[in-house]
C-alpha cells in the first residue's frame, strides 16, 4: 500500500503529526477532555488512519494518553509531574540558550527583538493565545540557534507536556501576571554574557511554571475568578 504524499512532498501522516503536535503545544486541547480519533481526524481534515498514527507517536511522547475506550486526552497535571517538568526545563533550556550564544549573530538578535515586540503587544492586549505562540517562537528561535540534535527535541517534548496548562492559566487569569524576561535575555546576548543569558532564561521558566503551579495545582485561578465575580473564594 502506497503512502499518501502532501503537496510539499512529505507523507500525510507526518504532516498530521506536526499539526497535532503544534495544536497540543499551543494548548488547543484542554487537559483531561477525552477526544476520539475520528473527531481529531475531522478537525484536521484527514482520514482516521494518519490521525491514528500521529496519536500513537504522541502517546509514546507522553503528550497524549490513550484510554481503555480508545479515546485520547492530554494528561492531567500532577504535583510530581509538575516538579519534574520544572527541574528538566530549568536544566535543559538555559543550557541550550548558552550553547546558542556563539551562533547568535545580528540576524538572530533582530528576530528575537521582533518577536519580543509582538509579545509586548499581545501582553498589552491581554491576548493569551498570541502570547503563547510568540513566546514559543522566541524560545525556539534561540534554542535552535544552538544547532543541537539532542537538546532541542528534548525541550520540545517538555513544552508539549506543559503548553496545554499555560492555555488553562491564561484562560482563567489572563496575561497580567506574566513577567517578561526576554529583554534581559536579549541584552545578555548583546553583551556575550553566558551567565546572564542562563539566568534570564531560567528566571523566565520559573516565572511561567510558578503560575501553572498556583493556578492548576493550587486553584488560585478559581479563587481569583470568584473574587472578581463578588463571590467568596
Nearest to 181 by CA among 209, 218, 214: 209
> What's the pLDDT tens digit per position in 194-221?
999 999 999 999 998 998 898 888 875 5
CATH number of the domain located at residue range(s) 12-73 in this protein: 1.10.10.10
- Percentage of residues in the chain having pLDDT higher than 90: 53
What CATH topology corresponds to 79-226?
Answer: 1.20.120
Query: Are 217 and 82 in contact, with CB atoms under 8 Å apart?
Result: yes
Residue 67, C-alpha cell as written in the block: 484510554
> Domain residue spans in the chain?
12-73, 79-226
Residue 222 has pLDDT above 80, yes or no: no
SS3 call for 215: helix
In percent, the amount of the chain with pLDDT more than 70 equals 90
Please, are residues 64 and 74 in contact by the beta-carbon 8 Å criterion? yes
pLDDT in tens, 16-45: 999 999 888 888 888 888 888 898 888 888
Is-same-fold flag (12-73; 79-226)? no
Between 146 and 9, residue with greater pLDDT: 146
Helix ranges (H only) for the chain are: 12-25, 37-44, 48-60, 79-100, 106-125, 128-144, 151-173, 182-191, 194-212, 220-228
Mean pLDDT of the chain: 86
End-to-end CA distance of the chain: 59
For 26-55, letters b (16+ CB in 10 Å) and e give bbbbeeeeebebeebbeebebeeebbbbbb
Reported as a single tens digit per residue, the pLDDT across 155-203 is 999 999 988 888 888 777 777 777 789 999 999 999 999 999 999 999 9
pLDDT tens column, 63-110: 999 988 888 999 999 999 999 999 999 999 999 999 999 999 999 999
Amino acid at each position: 500500500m502506497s503512502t499518501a504524499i502532501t503537496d510539499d512532498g512529505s507523507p500525510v501522516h507526518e504532516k498530521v503529526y506536526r499539526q497535532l503536535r503544534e495544536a497540543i503545544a499551543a494548548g488547543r486541547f484542554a487537559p483531561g477532555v477525552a477526544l476520539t480519533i475520528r473527531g481529531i481526524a475531522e478537525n484536521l481534515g484527514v482520514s482516521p488512519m494518519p490521525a491514528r498514527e500521529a496519536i500513537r507517536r504522541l502517546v509514546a511522547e507522553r503528550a497524549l494518553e490513550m484510554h481503555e475506550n480508545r479515546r485520547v486526552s492530554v494528561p492531567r497535571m500532577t504535583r510530581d509531574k509538575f516538579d519534574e517538568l520544572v527541574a528538566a526545563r530549568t536544566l535543559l533550556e538555559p543550557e541550550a540558550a548558552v550553547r546558542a550564544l556563539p551562533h547568535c549573530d545580528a540576524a538572530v538578535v533582530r528576530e528575537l527583538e521582533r518577536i519580543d515586540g509582538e509579545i509586548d503587544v499581545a501582553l498589552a492586549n491581554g491576548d493569551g493565545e498570541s502570547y503563547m505562540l510568540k513566546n514559543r517562537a522566541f524560545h525556539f528561535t534561540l534554542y535552535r540557534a544552538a544547532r543541537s540534535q539532542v537538546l532541542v527535541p528534548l525541550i520540545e517534548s517538555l513544552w508539549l507536556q506543559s503548553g496545554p496548562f499555560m492555555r488553562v492559566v491564561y484562560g482563567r487569569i489572563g496575561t497580567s501576571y506574566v513577567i517578561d524576561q526576554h529583554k534581559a535575555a536579549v541584552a545578555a546576548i548583546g553583551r556575550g554574557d553566558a551567565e546572564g543569558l542562563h539566568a534570564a532564561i531560567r528566571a523566565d521558566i520559573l516565572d511561567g511554571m510558578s503560575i501553572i503551579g498556583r493556578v492548576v495545582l493550587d486553584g488560585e485561578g478559581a479563587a481569583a475568578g470568584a473574587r472578581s465575580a463578588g463571590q467568596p473564594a
